[in-house]
Structure 1
Amino acid sequence: MLSAKKITSVISALTLTFFFVAPSIAQEAPPPSAAEPVAEVEVSEQDLEKTADAYRKIAAVQQQLQAELQTAEDQESRLQLQQSANKNMMEAVESSGLSVEQYNTVMQQVNADKELAQKFQQLMME
């Protein structure tokens, strides 16, 4: 079983990837900054398809979360909704056949590689 600290760090990475990579897919992917070099990793077509599937599922979880947060009555309710959504995002990735680490690695490559970003965007339109 994962410790609470590890779950929090995985969820944070997943959430940050979702929020920061998504806008760049629609636009030209910026080059990686010198402070955060991205090691080039070969991404198979199958892993790219799995990542696109997971991305769609994560987007649906995020959309549902936003709607539920608007009707949450207090901070505790919002926190419970966020925790549930984070668990659902992790499950979405895993149900697509990837680990959270694999998903994040592929999304980093998509963000760093213009050609891969275009392939990913095409998969998202299917």
Structure 2
Amino acid sequence: MSGVDVGVLSFKFGFKLEKIGEPGGTPLAQVITELVDQAKRNVVLIVDEVQQAITTDDGNRLLLSLKAARDAVNPQPGTIGHFIFVGTGSHRIAPWLASSPRAAHKLSTAPLLYPTQYSTGTTSRISRHA
């Protein structure tokens, strides 16, 4: 796919998939911004056990890239869609979130539900706000 436009689900992007987030490649913030702009809807990323990401340098870089993507997309004036990152897991991620000077996040505890109840409820809430 090197040097060609990438089309996914009828979206067309002008970057190389294998270079996303790599030095000299396309920043994740640009990828998500283009996705939201083309979809004209909210883009939601749900990651289970997100606290595992803070245990490695690569994981920390990924979380910082996701925060940069949120900061690039959500404050755009007149944006039709937003980037919503939902991380589930333990409370161990809370100090990491709070340590960011630009941490515009909402940290809350979800009720304990069976997985199908949780995913159905979450999907329903996201659909109502999309």
What range is the shorter-chain TM-score in? Answer: under 0.3
- Greater relative contact order (CA < 8 Å, ≥ 6 in sequence): 1
Point out the structure with max Rg over C-alpha.
2
Q: TM-score, normalised by structure 2?
A: 0.25
So what's the TM-score if we normalise by structure 1? 0.25
- The structure carrying a bigger helix percent of its residues is 1
